[in-house]
Amino acid sequence: MEQQAIEIYRQPLEEPELFWAPIEQAEQGLYGFLGDLQLSVASGSPRGLQIENSGARVEDGVLILQLLEEPQDEANLNDWLSGDLHPSPLLDTNAHYQTKCRRSGRRGTRKRRTSPWNPMFFESRVSREYTSRKNNSRWTAKEVEILVQGVSKFGVGRWVMLKRQFFKTSIRTSVNLKDKWRNLLKAYQGNSQKTTQLYLEPSLVEQIRKVAEKHPYPNKRHK
DNA sequence: TTAGGGTTAATG
DNA sequence: CATTAACCCTAA
């Protein structure tokens, strides 16, 4: 896993303030790499938080809730992050998810005082109810082309690898890639006449069929 | 993390 | 309204 520095943007809000990384899928993968997070106070200007992590990928997303009181120095910050010593500055985390994080997050009313870094904070969200999708951006023919290249190279079921090699900076997550491939098969595999919403060059469709034949989905490696 | 069942937005 | 496509949830 490569090192990656993620700049955290600071957005002026009513307090408490919210920090977040300029990355997609803020809701997902959050607790997965908490353990790898290392935070430091950026010395430059603007002053802010910087996250360095070894486990996270940009597409994992991370959402940072900033403390009310500005950390004076790194020690202070680490202290705050590590401990029960400091009560959470968040008066109502819920309100902030509702107002500032679009459709993500819990819906009910619930105030809690707990550090955002406390695992408890995230556990409550693990089985979060399904609410609504975050984005719905359509795939382009070009993206499909790249996906087909990827599957033809790695086969089916190596979505993370495919993501890293072919969709490194893309919005698409490894799961998105898997889903898209599944949709492509539905649309173009078999002989039934289906209406597709995205026009693909016949040659590309042909390619999809070939690759699909060579690499049957699913790969039962995990089953 | 993957596979596969589900949900929902967009489309014709 | 029926279907498609994108996205979500979660067992294993």
For residue A186, the model assigns a pLDDT of 93
Q: Which residue has the tokens 């010593």?
A: A85
Report the CATH number of the A141-214 domain.
Answer: 1.10.246.220
Measured to protein CB atoms, the chain B nucleotides within 7 Å are 1-12
User: Tens digit of pLDDT per residue, chain A (223 long)?
Assistant: 232 333 333 332 222 222 333 222 222 222 222 223 333 332 222 233 333 332 333 333 333 333 223 333 444 444 434 433 222 222 222 333 233 332 233 222 222 222 233 322 333 332 233 344 445 578 888 899 999 999 999 999 999 999 989 988 787 899 999 999 999 999 998 766 788 888 899 999 999 999 999 998 877 665 4
Domain boundaries, chain A: 141-214
Instruction: Give the separation between CA A96 and CA A66, rounded to whole angstroms.
Output: 12
CA/C1' separation A155–B9 (Å): 30
The strands making up A63-65's β-sheet, listed across from edge to edge, are A9-11, A18-20, A63-65
For residue A179, the model assigns a pLDDT of 96
Query: What is the model's pTM?
Result: 0.49
Q: Is residue A157 left, alpha or beta, with left meaning phi > 0 and alpha meaning psi from -120 to 50?
A: left
Structure tokens belonging to residue A174: 């490894």
- Residue whose CA is minimally distant from C3 C1': A195
Q: Which residue has the tokens 């809730």?
A: A65
For residue A139, the model assigns a pLDDT of 86
Q: Is residue A59 left, alpha or beta, with left meaning phi > 0 and alpha meaning psi from -120 to 50?
A: alpha
Report which of residues 19-38 in chain A place their beta carbon less than 7 angstroms from any atom of strand C: 25, 27-28
State which protein residues have CB closer than 7 Å to strand B.
Answer: A 29, 32, 130, 132-133, 136, 138, 156-161, 174-175, 178-179, 182, 195, 197, 217-223
